[in-house]
């Protein structure tokens, strides 16, 4: 992992920081490689139960670096039949740990797509959001897939088809943003939410998120069957046994993530 992304774990909470502040954390090829490695590290880190992603300096992420954009969205394969960039968090890396975007400033293009990949978006009152690609002669792709699944169609089209910026208040009204807080309280609010999530059994949390994610495209019977299978698997974990023991002993459970 290089210097363009920072990764720190404290009390089971990983903070992932876009770290090119002089370029408003715009993503170039180096940063894309570092981001992919970082998200895979978080996925595989048994000590990290929740992730907060934020930006260094005054921006969250300015999207692809227009001056150094080669490789910013990933390495596209030579074969039409291979799926490009699926290893990136933005484009669909399978990751069922909870994720929080703490948006501290401008959140643009692929930066907004990354925020949309998170379960929660908490915004500073200084944050703004935009998909300017259509003003640059380019279509928005992954953002156009993600955004209409998160907010109302017309609100999604306003962002995607006009390329205009919306402020934090408007983003909250669109329900793009879960919560807006004062700028100096942003990481406090994100860490408070992360601490609440860490009070729950981490494997049960991941199983619940996976069920919620996968069953959206399933018929009802198949969805229930899948969910009940996940319940049986989760009930065999050490944490499930710890929950039963703690309840019998009248004490809070001590989760291990195992």
The pLDDT value recorded for residue 52 is 98
Q: Assess whether 184 and 217 both reside in one domain.
A: no
In the chain, how many domains are there?
2
Q: Assess whether 79 and 22 both reside in one domain.
A: yes
The pLDDT value recorded for residue 165 is 97
Q: Assess whether 99 and 27 both reside in one domain.
A: yes
Q: Which is more confident, 77 or 219?
A: 219
Residue 74 has pLDDT above 80, yes or no: no
Arithmetic mean of pLDDT, 114-128: 98
Please state, for a pLDDT cut of 70, what percent of the chain lies above it: 92
CA angle 59, 20, 157 (to 5 degrees): 45
Q: What is the C-alpha to C-alpha distance for residues 27 and 66, in angstroms, rounded to an integer?
A: 9
Residue 44 has pLDDT above 80, yes or no: yes
Residue 76 and residue 84 in contact, taking contact as beta carbons nearer than 8 Å: yes
Q: Assess whether 190 and 208 both reside in one domain.
A: no
Arithmetic mean of pLDDT, 120-143: 96
Is residue 256 assigned to a domain? no
Arithmetic mean of pLDDT, 55-67: 95
First to last CA, the chain: 27
25-29, 86-90, 102-106: least confidently modelled range: 86-90
Confidence of residue 85 (pLDDT cuts 50, 70, 90): low
The pLDDT value recorded for residue 72 is 58
Which residue, of 161, 183, 198, is where some domain finishes? 198
Residue 90 has pLDDT above 70, yes or no: yes
Residue-wise pLDDT tens digits, 168-197: 999 999 999 999 999 999 999 999 999 999
Q: What is the C-alpha to C-alpha distance for residues 244 and 231, in angstroms, rounded to an integer?
A: 15
Compute the mean pLDDT over every residue in the chain, rounded to the nearest whole number: 93
Q: Assess whether 108 and 216 both reside in one domain.
A: no
Residue 67 belongs to domain spanning: 5-198
Arithmetic mean of pLDDT, 236-240: 95
Roughly what angle, to the nearest 10 degrees, separates helices 202-214 and 238-249? 120
Global pTM reads: 0.93
Residue-wise pLDDT tens digits, 135-169: 999 999 999 999 999 999 999 999 999 999 999 99
Residue 225 has pLDDT above 60, yes or no: yes
CATH number at residue 99: 3.90.226.10
Structure tokens at 60: 């969250």
Q: Assess whether 57 and 145 both reside in one domain.
A: yes
Residue 70 has pLDDT above 70, yes or no: no
What's the sign of the alpha-carbon dihedral 134, 175, 17, 83?
negative
Q: What is the C-alpha to C-alpha distance for residues 92 and 11, in angstroms, rounded to an integer?
A: 27
């Amino acid at each position: 992992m290089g210097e363009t992304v920072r990764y720190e774990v404290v009390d089971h909470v990983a903070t992932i920081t876009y770290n090119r502040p002089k370029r408003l954390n715009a993503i170039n090829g180096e940063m894309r490689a570092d981001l992919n490695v970082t998200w895979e590290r978080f996925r595989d880190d048994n000590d990290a139960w929740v992730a907060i992603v934020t930006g260094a300096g005054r921006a969250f992420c300015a999207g692809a670096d227009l001056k150094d954009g080669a490789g910013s969205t990933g390495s596209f394969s030579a074969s039409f039949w291979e799926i490009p960039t699926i290893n990136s968090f933005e484009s669909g890396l399978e990751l069922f740990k909870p994720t929080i975007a703490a948006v501290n400033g401008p959140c643009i293009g692929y930066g907004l797509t990354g925020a949309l990949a998170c379960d929660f978006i908490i915004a500073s009152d200084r944050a703004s959001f935009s998909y300017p690609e259509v003003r640059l002669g380019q279509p928005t792709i992954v953002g156009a897939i993600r955004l209409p699944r998160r907010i109302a169609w017309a609100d999604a089209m306003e962002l995607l088809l006009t390329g205009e910026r919306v402020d934090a208040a408007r983003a909250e009204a669109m329900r793009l943003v879960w919560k807006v807080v004062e700028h100096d309280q942003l990481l406090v609010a994100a860490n408070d939410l992360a601490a609440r999530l860490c009070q729950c059994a981490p494997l049960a949390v991941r199983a619940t998120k996976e069920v919620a994610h996968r069953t959206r495209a399933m018929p009802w019977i198949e969805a229930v069957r899948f969910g009940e299978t996940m319940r049986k698997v989760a009930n065999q974990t050490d944490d499930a046994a710890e929950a039963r023991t703690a309840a019998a002993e009248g004490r809070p459970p001590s989760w291990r993530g195992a």
